Amino acid sequence: MSAVRTPPTASTSARRDAEATKAAILRSARYLLARHAHADITLKAVAERAGVSPPLILKYFGNKDALFARVMSFEADAEALLDAPLHELGRHMVRHVLESQSERGADPLLRIAFAPLHGEQGDILRANFRAQVTERLAERLTGPDTGLRAELAVGTLLGLGVMYGIARGPHMRASTLDTLVERYAPVVQAQLTP
């Protein structure tokens, strides 16, 4: 590999701008969904908060419902979270949660912790979380009580994310990723392959 880094071309930087804009639109939709009923949020409000025009949102996401579905889906994150053979899935999931937090400053899985307890948005998030995360994990398990074990395994991961990202435990923060994986992976794996 060459040590010389070429400057980004015009097309690279355009792609970066597009990604940053999409991220701003998703953040805006997420912000408004956490505070208002689905039906009360206009495309114009999402656009204004993101600092873009409504047609740009249509260009990137198709329509309002498609945008909201994207915000409330765990599909893409579950794909990455579950992408390892079962016997090392505990390690992989712990590493994935901690890397999401430490490198990207966000853990998409944790959106379930903020799901409103009442109303449509919370119910959609809960239904998606079950279908896309816990039930999908349960299908990979064998032995008794696969559904319960999957929920408890995912529970341990959510707790890891809350403790690291929100409570910001200073001892966790001062530990290396490898130390945390070493200590916590067995906790998760015990539910997967007891």
Q: Which stretch binds a copy of itself (CB under 8 A): 13-21, 49-57, 79-87, 108-116?
A: 108-116
In 34-83, which residue ranges form alpha helices assigned H by DSSP? 43-50, 54-61, 64-71, 75-81
Q: Which is nearer to a copy of itself, 85 or 170 (CB)?
A: 170
Q: How many residues bind a copy of itself (CB under 8 A)?
A: 42
CB of 11 to a copy of itself, least distance (A): 35
Residues of span 114-173 touching a copy of itself by CB under 8 A:
114-115, 117, 126, 129-130, 134, 145, 147-152, 154-164, 166-172
Q: CB 39 → a copy of itself: shortest distance, Å? A: 22
> 179: how many CB neighbours lie within 10 A of its CB?
11
Q: How far apart are CA 58 and CA 30, in angstroms?
A: 17
Unique residue bearing structure tokens 């009442």: 118
Of residues 61 and 129, the one with the C-beta less far from a copy of itself: 129
Q: How far is CA 182 from CA 31, 46, 85, 102, 149, in A?
A: 35, 42, 17, 17, 21
* Calpha distance 155→150 (Å, rounded): 8
Locate 99 and state its tokens.
Answer: 């890397």
Residues in the chain: 194
Phi, psi (degrees; rounded to nearest 5) at 29:
-65, -40
Which residue's CB is nearer to a copy of itself, number 33 or number 160?
A: 160
Report in angstroms how near the CB of residue 116 gets to a copy of itself at its nearest.
9
Hey, which residues between 72 and 101 contact a copy of itself (CB under 8 A)?
Answer: none
Binding site for a copy of itself (CB under 8 A): 112-115, 117, 126, 129-130, 134, 145, 147-152, 154-164, 166-172, 175, 179, 183-184, 186-187, 190-191
